[in-house]
Every structure is written in C-alpha cells, then in structure tokens.
Amino acid sequence: MTSALDNLRILDLSRVLAGPFATMMLADLGATVTKVERPGTGDETRSWGPPYDEDGESTYFQSVNRNKDSIVLDLTEAGDLERARKLALEADVLVENFRPGVLDRLGLGYEVLRADNPDLVYCSITGFGSGQGAALPGYDLLIQALGGLMSITGQPEGEPQKVGVAVVDVLTGLFASVGILAALRHRDATGEGQRVDVDLLSSLLAALVNQGAAYTSGDVVPGRMGNQHPSIAPYELLTCAEGELVLAVGNDRQFAALSEVLDAPELAADTRFASNTDRVRNRQDLRAALLERLATRSAQDWAERLTARRVPAGVVNDVGGAFRLAADLGLDPVVTLPRADGTAVALTRNPIGLSVTPPRYHSAPPRLDGKEFDGP
C-alpha cells in the first residue's frame, strides 16, 4: 500500500514536543524521518517521567516519536557535523527548533543549505520568533502564561490555570505540519524550496480564535469563566444528584428539547431564555433553574436521556474512560507497534482518515542504543 508522503525524506533536528509531533504526523503519512539525537542523553523527553512503560521507556518520548529512525550525532564534533550536513543536503525537509542563530553558526542554517539544496523545505520552530524574542526560552507553560491562555482558564475566583496537556506545543506542531505541506505543494509546482517559520506565541494567539477576536475586533479582554462559555449558554458543567453533567446546548432547538427532557417546558417559554443571546445575558438565572431540576437524577441518567433527544450532553470521563468510549464507538484509538526485541508499545492512533493513502504504523519509537546509523 502506498502512502501519501512516500519517498519524502525528513531530517528531524528538533526535540521535546512541537517539532517531534510535526515530524511524527508526517512519518505516519509515509515520510522517512531521521531523528538526530545528542550522545548519551538523546532527546530530553527520554528522561521525562514517570510514567515509564514496562521496558523503562519514557511514555512522553514515545508519544511523538514513532515511525522514525534515530541517529546519535554530536554537532560540536567535526565528523558528526559533516554527517549531519550530508543528511541535510539529501533531505526534502529539515525541521529544527534550536535557538535562532545556533544552526547558522554550525553551517546548518537555511541560507547555507539552500545554496547546495535549493529545493529544501526548511522548517524552524521557535518560542517567540527570530527577532526581538529570539533569546526567550520557548516552554509551553511559559507561553500559556504570556500568551493569555492561563488568564482565561480556571475558575473566576481562582488562580490562572494551565491546560492539562502541552497544548501550545501540539498546536505549533500542527501549524508546522501545515506549513511544510504547503511549501511542498509549492515545490511540486515550481521546484523551489522555502523556509517555514512557526513560533509558539503566534500559534497560541491564532488558536485563541473567538477569545482572540473578542479583543482584536470587540475590544473586550476575556477573563476566566470556569467551565462556562462566553458566548453560549447553557454550555458548562452542572452538578446532578450523582456526578457532573456537561451540557453543550448550541441552538434553540436543543434548548427546547432540554426543557422537555427536564420536564420543564416553562424554561423554553421564559422570555429570559428565548434565544441564545437571552440565555447568555441571564446565564446565572438559567444555571440556578437547571441545577434545581438536574438534582433529581444522576449525571449518567440525564446524559442518556438527553443524548436520545439529540441534546449534546455527557459525563466527565477520565483518560481511560475516553479511550474506552472511542473503542466502543469503533474509532480504534490505539495502535500497537512491535519492537525488534519482541516487545511492543501501544500508542494513540493518528486521527487523520485517508481512503486511499491512510496513515501507516511501521515502527515503534527508536531506542537510544548507540547503534550505527545505516542510512545515507
């Protein structure tokens, strides 16, 4: 079976999350990815744990490094640096997240490489760009704070909160993947490579979507609202007789159905709740009315009743429950990849479905074992 990116060679000089996530997405789609790691320690995430799997491998590293080969190179050593340069000149794509200027000093910068490899797509991932923010450290938590995400996450009376996963790194990796694919499309048409620049702060600002537009277009600085939504109601977490229920009512039909299921038709008839705009303006009155009626049954019971009426509702799963739900729905969320020593690792499936060239899973994340690289 052919893959969408067969014969595409990627040199991965990135580490930690954003870059490795981008290159793994491309590797899943068929690209051949060679990951360069430092002697002794390799990618920092190899030591980020617990948790580790039963073979002692970091689950963090495994999450973004399947379908890749690994080569250990010391870029401060002349021979290894020359090998890295040779790989770069034979690559279609190079991905890196060094501090701006570091690879230029090593002779692996874009301008130097493009002179000998003009069709190279060279993707640089930084924290705050290569200008005035070049020296700032690009850590996800720091970007969540400086980029405003923590200011809109958490309870109004509580402290700012980070999201439970390094979401800025993941988003940046996705933006990098899109940029690389766009550059490859241009190269297919013209034969010309180019540089792709993606930074974490800009990626987060773009991902703020409606909250960002509230500021840029509406001159409103959003704040923390807990589990409520600034523009939709009811769209929140509500306590029931047992457990908590999430309601995501996005239109008047759904609200009318919600009122019927709750045996409270007066809610849909109330002028305070006649439209979404009305419900947002009177959200606290609506919340009080809903809590009173939801207190008669468990969250699971309400979720089943509401779902049957096509009202978006559900209970709060833990991560295990989320995977079990996906499995029950036939989404096959887990793939198992064998290692050469007979062990295996289970990882989350690539969510992209392609009818002709689906993602492939041919190798577990590489070990850092010092074996000689047998590539170019």
10 Å Cβ neighbour count for 303? 21
Task: Could you please state the CATH topology (level 3) that the domain comprising 235-316 is classified under.
Answer: formyl-coa transferase, domain 3 (3.30.1540)
Q: Using 50, 70 and 90 to split pLDDT, how confident is the model at 372?
A: very low
Strands 334-338 and 344-348: antiparallel
Query: Looking at residue 342, what is its pLDDT?
Result: 86
Active site residue 169: yes
pLDDT digits (tens, 9 = 90+) for 8-48: 999 999 999 999 999 999 999 999 999 999 999 999 999 99
Query: Looking at residue 1, what is its pLDDT?
Result: 67
Q: Using 50, 70 and 90 to split pLDDT, how confident is the model at 126?
A: very high
pLDDT digits (tens, 9 = 90+) for 78-118: 999 999 999 999 999 999 999 999 999 999 999 999 999 99
Query: Looking at residue 369, what is its pLDDT?
Result: 67
Q: Using 50, 70 and 90 to split pLDDT, how confident is the model at 375?
A: very low
pTM higher than 0.85:
yes
Is 69 exposed, middle or buried, given 0-12, 13-18 or 19+ CB atoms closer than 10 A? middle
Hey, where are the domains in the chain?
A: 9-208+332-348, 235-316
Q: Return d(Cα 313, Cα 300) in angstroms, integer.
A: 10
For the beta sheet containing 244-248, the strands, ordered from the edge strand earlier in sequence to the opposite edge, are 235-239, 244-248, 313-315
Question: Does the bond joining 160 to the residue before it have cis omega, within 30 degrees of 0?
Answer: no
Task: HSE, CB side, 13 Å, CA atoms: give it for residue 188.
Answer: 8
- Pick the catalytic residue from 169, 252, 301, 318: 169
Tokens of residue 64, six digits: 């973004």
pLDDT digits (tens, 9 = 90+) for 284-322: 999 999 999 999 999 999 999 999 999 999 999 999 999
pLDDT digits (tens, 9 = 90+) for 311-357: 999 999 999 999 999 999 999 999 999 988 888 999 999 999 999 99
Q: Are 113 and 94 in contact (CB under 8 A)?
A: yes
- The 3 state secondary structure assigned to the chain is CCCCCCCCEEEEECCCCHHHHHHHHHHHCCCEEEEEECCCCCCHHHHCCCCECCCCCEHHHHCCCCCEEEEECCCCCHHHHHHHHHHHHHCCEEEECCCCCHHHHHCCCHHHHHHHCCCCEEEEEECCCCCCCCCCCCCHHHHHHHCCCHHHCCCCCCCCCCCCCCHHHHHHHHHHHHHHHHHHHHHHHHCCCEEEEEEHHHHHHHHCHHHHHHHHCCCCCCCCCCCCCCCCCCEEEEECCECEEEEECCCHHHHHHHHHHCCCHHHHHCHHHCCHHHHHHCHHHHHHHHHHHHCCCEHHHHHHHHHHCCCCEEECCCHHHHHHHHHHCCCCCEEEEECCCCCEEEEECCCCCCCCCCCCCCCCCCCCCCCCCCCC
- CATH homologous superfamily, domain 9-208+332-348: Crotonobetainyl-coa:carnitine coa-transferase; domain 1 (3.40.50.10540)
Cα 157 → chain centroid: 28
